Structures are given as structure tokens and as C-alpha cells.
Amino acid sequence: MPSEIALQWIYFPPFFLTVVVGFLCAIAVVKLLNVTGYQKYFWHPGLVFVSLWVLTTSLVGIFFIPP
């Protein structure tokens, strides 16, 4: 069972690291979509970003950093 992540006197739950890594992966995917031009095929770019954030957080949590 993973314990808290301690930064000085602030304690973070293990899922916080998973969410941050998922957020960074989602930013990378959105930047890749912008560079390749596929972003124009999506109706609402903000919803695409949020859905990619949830998807990448789930994948990181399942395969790399289990909460």
C-alpha cells in the first residue's frame, strides 16, 4: 500500500502524482494534435483536453503508478 508523498511538511496522496503525470501527458498529446493539425477535427478542444486528461490519468494509474 503506497503511503503519502511528503514535501517538507505538506503531505500529498499517491493519486496526486498520478493526476499530475496524467495532466502532463495530456498536454503533450494536445500539443502533438496541434502540431499535426488533427485538432481541427474536434468540435470542442476544451472537452478533448479534459477527456485526454482523464484517459491518460487512468492509463498511468493502471500501468505505472497504481494509487
CA 15 – CA 28 distance, rounded (Å): 20
Closest CA to 45 of 27, 59, 25, 57: 27
CA 20 – CA 57 distance, rounded (Å): 8
CA 59 – CA 53 distance, rounded (Å): 10
For the chain, which residues score pLDDT lower than 70? 1-2, 67
Contact 66, 1 (CB under 8 A): no
Residue 2's pLDDT is what? 61
Residue 21's pLDDT is what? 94
DSSP annotation of 4 reads P
Q: Per-domain residue ranges for the chain?
A: 20-46+55-67
pTM of the model: 0.84
Cell numbers found for residue 48: 478533448
